[in-house]
A and B are shown apart, each in its own frame.
Chain A
């Protein structure tokens, strides 16, 4: 099975303190460290496991600047066979549809049976997977937490629904799936693994290579424009109880009784 996984380089929320810039144009990026978007990591692990079971290859692709190459290498160190970097100045500030259009152009150059994305990105809106499927007219399922390969043309997929229940569906290939965390346990990639793939060639494709009209992507092509970042003002309605543990308990019981939570 030929599998393509779309990944993204994001500032890891666990290892950064995200602060909004004073002028509201962006977040402070001076001290940020980046990693592979967590959901994407699960998608790549799933792709590798499927490939190891039924054969084929795994390709990872990302839209980003040249530094995004590091996340491709990390995923290749995990076991992905190929990496493709989609990078061009003209791609900068693309909206979700723009990113989907760039990915679509690359995907149409190859022949993939299965396209995976993360369910969402730490710094994203969870929209590219769905748009990509629609633009390519492929079946789409989101928030997938289980994949069983039935045969060459069918997958059985699962999704968690309310209350921890599981919903099972069947989907025909080729298709696009967005992957939820917890679908597997992604393997560890150490420095040694990354060094092993350090010299593997990763092709870079830009506007010209993809045959995209420059005004369909990037800032000019964006239909959704970001306006502002700000920290919401603290609202009313929250009260921090103070005092000794006993006093706090008493006050809490009092509040609960007053609001009808305790009878």
Chain B
């Protein structure tokens, strides 16, 4: 019954504005405010990501194995919490509060790193808190983006948001580098600065992001059974299934970069730059592909993205080599992210009823995260049995299969092409 809203997606206040203005200007201030929060928060979190290994090994004298322990802690719990956060946001219709709580939790975790000293267990717990914050905030934030944007502009809105997000991820390590250089390697100064930046992100959220609580159903409608009814709705089930299938065929960045590095016998010095190259391509293509998705259909762009991924996997053991291989693979890999990450949520938005949209987004993102986890284990096994070249070609074939299945699953998904909603 909730799917009755599908053909009339709630479009936020901006629907009434004239739609002939220039594309980006049509996006609401809320999207830019959320983008700014993500940009600022990503500077903060990537600062810590960049120095954490150095801090653990050189500052605290922990060995890499200890890092593995820290990293592996509580990974499963965060997936469940993501769903809980999504459901709570819908239940209370306080998406901004839940997202804000997630952002604040991650900010506090930066101070926690300072406080816990060199106990492996405590550091693991602090990092788990940080990830919990990230898990909690993602779905409410993406839901707010859709609720602040007319459906026909979802692609564009997510494009702008993901571009701003990636700019932050890009700048974070540079900021950390500057602080370390200025303070003669004081890691604690990086953590304090990271906390201050994250706190500013929370402030921007509190002051400038508006919650979308307008067209909420009357109290008590969003029950657990309503949330689970989501999965009984065929289009939602197909979306979650498609996200999981696509995720299963994806082998993970670590492997892609590792294969590039082995193929080219790159000196290890290049390794971190591979992610930088991908990020650069991602941030350049995020907006154009979002706009394109709104124009020609989001499913086409997502499928195009996965087709790009097939090329990436084939090229890893293909005819190109040297710098041209690196350039082509990284550009294509960034394209893949730009065509799939935000666009998938833009695709899902109109299908998910407003009242349980956050839960729905959390469901899709959790399915994706879990299938990534499984796929990296499976790829590791395939590598052992068939070697890297064989395993990668199998992955490419599986992505082709996934593209076909996803195309069938999502064919004729309601309101996939520039929503009819804003024409009401």
B partners with A:
no
B: residues with CB less than 8 A from A are none
Residues of A that sit less than 8 Å from B by CB? none
